[in-house]
Amino acid sequence: GIKCGGVLSAPSGNFSSPNFPGLYPYETECTWLIVVAEGSFVQLSFSHFELEYHTACAYDYLQVYNGAARDRGNLLGTFCGHSPPPPFSSAWHVMAVVFRSDRHVAKRGFAAAYRKDACGGQLTGLSGEITSPRYPESYPNDAECRWSIGGAGSSGPLTLVFADFQVEGSQGCGFDYVAIFDGPTAAAPRLGRYCGSVRPPRTVSSAPHLLILFKSDFNIGGRGFKAHFYSAGECQEVFTTIKGNFSSPQYPNFYPNNLKCQWSIQLPPGYRVKVFFLDMELEGRSSLTGSCDYDHLAAFDGGTENGSLLGRWCGRENLAPVTSHSNQLLLVLHTDRNTAKRGFSIAYVGVVPMNVSCTRTDFHIQIPVQSLAQLERNRIYLGTPSCAAHVVGGNFKIHTRFDTCGTESQKRNNTSVIVSTLYIDFSVGNQEDIHQYEVQCEPKRKEASVTLIVGPDPSRLSQAENLVDAQQREGGTTDTREIKSQDTSDIVFISICILAGLLMVIAVVGLVLL
């Protein structure tokens, strides 16, 4: 019978738990939806807080949402006990607060205040965007805005990137300027002070806090600025190892809303990056367009979003692996303001660049030394360790006949093929890490292929995946001496056939004459 909650649309206001400062009632649930003018955001603070305590806040609790309630991707935090929540700023013009009590133990509850603020605030998400007042229109005179970034959800350094910047310029930036501090207040070390029309450089904090201060004087303005920030570690990572795993923020729990996260895989020259989607559940496709217009994951060939798009996915799908055409691949996750899901888990492996060819009697395998510079030649072998590679020039090379090195003949799709296994041993100490590639030749056509059998994690990537080397597709060359040696066996074979034919003719003629 207790009335509580509702829509709060005034520019500022106060609200509290039922009966405050008396004890709140049992078995009560209240939702306050705060809606201010579009283009502004909500600042929320608590002057009193006292709820029943539980380590997981499973009994009485208060939840703050960065947008509409009940969307777990918007949840900024769940609170109980006697410690008040920190001040919050929404990423847009809507914020929701939910209070719930059970049937036992009542306390005094809470008192909160909110206000609309179009300039500055406390930003606590893993990523977000800030703009100067009225952007992209000219900002007002005599403005002073402070954005304190960090706190809940941030665990690593923060990165700030300016997408647009136009502020009144002056010597020493004494009039209008943007200042960045390596901490939550202006007492922290200053990382830079900027004005004019040149975008400030990418800034990385040393701790999970940044302060951005914007000031304008009494005349001459500009378009202002637009910048976005993200927390390194969960939302922005660079991988340089030959294999690895990563996942969306908070996986397997629901990812936050309003994210733009990037994972860049950068391998040594010559490698290709192959990505395996172990699990993926994002917001589904738009019912109007049938496209991934909401939350989506995109892959780009190279290190930037200007590279070729390799794929764009959403919903819940079983995706085939994706392979880059260069030694770099970029994955970008975009999430919107609502409807979060479990996210994704990904494994990747660097595909060793190799040139595999064959004749009617021999295998020829060539791998650039720079791709496996950390390995001795005996760590690369075909079939058995006795068939190890040799270093010739700048390449590891294996040249072997079909009747050696564990090769065997098989029938596949009614075609005779010769098959062997190439081993590349990355093991360190007691940790075994051997990549196995199936090498196959169709002698009649002299066509060779290579397939990854066992990659970086056999228990999760057990199925064979075709990894025909991109160098061969793209016209990768082998030196002329190697080509000549590959053709020698063919010449011998043809010569023997011709000689046998001549001997048969001579024998037939001899019989006729007799």
Alpha-carbon distance of 110 to 21, in angstroms, equals 8
Is residue 495 pLDDT above 90, yes or no?
Answer: no
User: What pLDDT is stored for residue 459 in this prediction?
Assistant: 39
Distance set, CA 369 to CA 58, 257, 375, 476 (Å): 58, 45, 9, 16
Q: Which amino acid is at 138?
A: S
The residue with greater pLDDT, 500 or 469, is: 500
Instruction: State the pLDDT at residue 473.
Output: 39
For 341-427, list the strands marked E by DSSP: 343-351, 355-358, 362-368, 380-382, 390-392, 395-401, 408-412, 415-425
| pLDDT for 470 beyond 60 | no
* 86: preceding bond cis by omega (within 30 degrees): no
The residue that leads in pLDDT, 483 or 280, is: 280
Least confident window among 64-73, 75-84, 191-200, 213-222: 64-73
pLDDT digits (tens, 9 = 90+) for 319-332: 999 999 889 999 99
User: Are both 6-115 and 355-454 of the same fold?
Assistant: no
Query: CA–CA separation, 250 vs 252, rounded Å?
Result: 6
pLDDT of residue 103: 92
Do residues 293 and 372 touch, judged by C-beta distance below 8 A? no
Q: What is the mean pLDDT of the chain?
A: 83
Pick the CATH number of 355-454 from 3.30.420.40, 3.60.70.12, 2.60.40.3210, 3.40.50.620: 2.60.40.3210
Mean pLDDT, residues 297-314 taken together: 93
Q: How many CB atoms lie within 10 A of CB 34?
A: 23
Strands (E), 9-108: 12-16, 29-35, 41-50, 61-65, 75-79, 88-89, 94-100
pTM: 0.59
Max Cα separation, the chain?
129
Q: Is 500 exposed, middle or buried (0-12, 13-18, 19+ CB in 10 A)?
A: exposed
The DSSP bridge partners found for residue 146 are 213
* Environment class of 463 (CB within 10 Å of its CB; exposed 0-12, middle 13-18, buried 19+): exposed
What is the structure's pLDDT at 463? 34
- Residue ranges of E strands in 39-108: 41-50, 61-65, 75-79, 88-89, 94-100
Residue 243 has pLDDT above 60, yes or no: yes
Most confident residue range from 87-96, 223-232, 238-247, 430-439: 238-247
30 exposure class (CB count in 10 Å sphere: 0-12, 13-18, 19+): buried
Kindly indicate whether the domain formed by 6-115 is annotated with CATH number 3.30.70.3450.
no
Q: What is the mean pLDDT of residues 401-407?
A: 89
Q: Does the pLDDT value for residue 481 go beyond 50? A: no
> 122-231, what's its fold?
Jelly Rolls (2.60.120)
CA distances from 205 to 102, 165, 476 (A): 42, 20, 43
Distance (Å, rounded) from C-alpha 118 to C-alpha 113? 17
Domain ranges of the chain: 6-115, 122-231, 249-351, 355-454
Best CATH choice for the domain 249-351 from the list 2.60.120.290, 3.40.50.300, 3.40.640.10, 3.40.50.150 = 2.60.120.290
